[in-house]
Amino acid sequence: MSLKFDLKNIISHFDIEGELLFATPFGDGHINDTFLVEIKDKKNEVTKYTLQRINTYVFKEPDKVMENILAITSHIKDKLSEDDFFTTYTVMKSKSGTPYYIDENNNFWRMQTFIDHVIVYDHSQDEKVVYNAAKGFGKFAYYLSDFDLANLHDTIPNFHNFKVKYQDLVNAFEQDSKCRAKEVKEQFSFYRSFETEFGILEQCHLPKRVTHNDTKLNNILLDEKTNLPVAVIDLDTVMPGLIATDFGDSIRSISGKEGCKSLSQIQFSPTSFEHYAKGYLEQTREILTKEEVDVLPLGVKLISLSLGMRFLTDYLNGDVYFKTDYPQHNLDRALSQIKLAQEFDKNQSTMSKIVHQYI
Ligand code: GN1
Ligand code: MG
Q: CA–CA separation, 214 vs 178, rounded Å?
A: 28
CB-defined site of ligand 1, < 6 Å = 29-31, 58, 214, 216, 234, 237, 258, 307
Query: 29 CA distance to ligand 1 centroid (A)?
Result: 7
HSE, side-chain direction, 13 A CA sphere, residue 34: 16
In angstroms, the first-to-last Cα distance of the chain is 47
Contact status, residue 317 vs residue 177, Cβ threshold 8 Å: yes
| Alpha-carbon distances, residue 324 vs 135, 304, 318 (angstroms) | 31, 19, 10
Which residue puts its alpha carbon closest to atom 15 of ligand 1? 30
pLDDT at 82: 87
Give percent above pLDDT 70 in the chain. Answer: 99
For the cut 70, the answer to whether the pLDDT of residue 80 exceeds it is yes
Query: 31 CA distance to ligand 1 centroid (A)?
Result: 7
Query: 297 CA distance to ligand 2 centroid (A)?
Result: 22
Contact status, residue 137 vs residue 144, Cβ threshold 8 Å: no
pLDDT at 257: 84
Atom of ligand 1 nearest to the CA of 213: 13
Residue whose CB lies within 8 A of the most ligand 1 atoms, among 214, 303, 321, for a mutation test = 214
pLDDT at 3: 56
Q: CA–CA separation, 222 vs 118, rounded Å?
A: 5
Contact status, residue 109 vs residue 49, Cβ threshold 8 Å: no
Q: CA–CA separation, 99 vs 338, rounded Å?
A: 39
Q: Which residues surround ligand 2, an ion (CB under 5 A)?
A: 214, 234
Query: 214 CA distance to ligand 1 centroid (A)?
Result: 6
Average pLDDT value for residue range 15-41: 95
Contact status, residue 116 vs residue 32, Cβ threshold 8 Å: no
Q: What is the dihedral of CA 194, 234, 13, 56, to 10 degrees?
A: 0
Model confidence at 34, in pLDDT bands (50, 70, 90)?
very high
Residue whose CB lies within 8 A of the most ligand 1 atoms, among 216, 218, 250, 305, for a mutation test = 216
Phi and psi dihedrals of 117, rounded to 5? 60, 40
| Nearest alpha-carbon partner for 95 in 14, 194, 200, 6 | 14
For the cut 60, the answer to whether the pLDDT of residue 1 exceeds it is no
For the cut 90, the answer to whether the pLDDT of residue 123 exceeds it is no
Model confidence at 63, in pLDDT bands (50, 70, 90)?
very high
- The ligand minimizing its distance to the Cα of 212 is 2
Query: 128 CA distance to ligand 2 centroid (A)?
Result: 23
Average pLDDT value for residue range 176-197: 98
Which residue puts its alpha carbon closest to atom 7 of ligand 1? 214
Query: 239 CA distance to ligand 1 centroid (A)?
Result: 14
For the cut 80, the answer to whether the pLDDT of residue 56 exceeds it is yes
Proportion of the chain in helix, strand, coil states, percent, rounded to 5:
50, 15, 40
**Going from the N-terminus, what domains does the chain have, and what CATH number goes with each?**
2-116 (3.30.200.20), 127-358 (3.90.1200.10)
Q: What is the dihedral of CA 141, 61, 219, 355, to 10 degrees?
A: 40
Q: CA–CA separation, 121 vs 256, rounded Å?
A: 12
Query: 265 CA distance to ligand 1 centroid (A)?
Result: 22
Give the tens place of pLDDT for each residue, 212-248. 999 999 999 999 999 999 999 999 999 999 999 999 9
Average pLDDT value for residue range 159-174: 98
- List residues bridging with 54 in a β-sheet: 108
| Nearest alpha-carbon partner for 232 in 75, 2, 57, 18 | 75
Which residue puts its alpha carbon closest to atom 13 of ligand 1? 214
Question: Higher pLDDT residue, 328 or 259?
Answer: 328
Average pLDDT value for residue range 166-181: 98
| Alpha-carbon distances, residue 51 vs 24, 38, 57, 280, 287 (angstroms) | 9, 10, 18, 30, 35
- The ligand minimizing its distance to the Cα of 55 is 1
For the cut 60, the answer to whether the pLDDT of residue 42 exceeds it is yes
pLDDT at 357: 97
- In one-letter notation, the amino acid at residue 223 is D
Contact status, residue 113 vs residue 90, Cβ threshold 8 Å: yes
Average pLDDT value for residue range 37-49: 97
Q: What is the DSSP string of 234-253?
A: -GGG-EEE-HHHHHHHHHHH
Give the tens place of pLDDT for each residue, 261-271. 999 989 999 99
Average pLDDT, the chain: 96
Query: 157 CA distance to ligand 1 centroid (A)?
Result: 15
- The ligand minimizing its distance to the Cα of 216 is 1
Atom of ligand 1 nearest to the CA of 58: 11
Burial class (CB in 10 A: 0-12, 13-18, 19+), 102: middle
- The ligand minimizing its distance to the Cα of 31 is 1
- The ligand minimizing its distance to the Cα of 156 is 1
For 269-294, letters b (16+ CB in 10 Å) and e give beebbbbbbbbbbbbbeebbeeebbb
For the cut 90, the answer to whether the pLDDT of residue 28 exceeds it is no
